[in-house]
Amino acid sequence: MTIFYEFDGKLYANITNKCPCACTFCIRKNSDSVGGNDSLWLEHEPSFEEIKEAFDSFDKTGLSELVFCGYGEPMMRADILLQTAEYVKANTDMKIRINTNGLVALMNPHFDISSLKYKIDKVSISLNASNPDKYFQITNPKYGLPSYNSMLNFALRIQEFVPEVSFTIVDCDLGEEETELCKERARDVGIPLRIRHYVKDNEKYE
């Protein structure tokens, strides 16, 4: 069972396969892994003890950043994520990033995002689209149209607790006009936008 894996010079944490979205560009539809690693489909959701054991035994030589991003939405297990981040911060100098859809308020309504302060260094949020309707078409969230505003609200609030916050979109069938509208939306919110390029032949994002 692959809980931690290395990709692009970073250590990634794969703590769940659950996700409330079914994005049209999701890499899980094309492959069971990334970067030549073993399958990222989990036999079961790992306990904190299993995560800690896997982290301790992983060769982290040369890896300075831990990214919560596997074959699921990491904030589905927000409490376990936080517990893991606390352990990593207490035992290493690694920077910690969360790649998220930003729907934690819908997934875990009682989770206090202020608890991420001093534990998470970066948060990358999937903007995906410039408006609720387009977002629903691309992301297919089970929470429906309110998901878009929930994601934006998370993006605005999390800046108070995490030093670096960014948006991302994937340039897969978005089109030039929608890409420009996404840039405008990100500027309106005051958060930098990174465009991720989907390389179909290698089944990965750059």
Q: For the segment 64-96, what is each residue's pLDDT rounded down to a tens digit?
A: 999 999 999 999 999 999 999 999 999 999 999
Q: For 140-156, give one letter per residue: b (16+ CB within 10 A) or e.
A: ebebeeebbebbbebbe
The reported pLDDT for the residue numbered 108 is: 95
The reported pLDDT for the residue numbered 199 is: 57
The reported pLDDT for the residue numbered 118 is: 97
Query: What is the spatial distance between Cα 115 and Cα 141, in angstroms, rounded to a whole number?
Result: 25
Confidence of residue 37 (pLDDT cuts 50, 70, 90): confident
Q: Please give the single-letter amino acid code of residue 87.
A: Y
Confidence of residue 198 (pLDDT cuts 50, 70, 90): low
Q: Is the pLDDT of residue 200 over 70?
A: no
Query: What is the spatial distance between Cα 108 and Cα 61, in angstroms, rounded to a whole number?
Result: 34
Q: What is the CA radius of gyration of the chain?
A: 16
The verdict on pTM exceeding 0.85 is yes
Confidence of residue 186 (pLDDT cuts 50, 70, 90): very high
Q: Is the pLDDT of residue 173 over 90?
A: no
SS3 185: helix
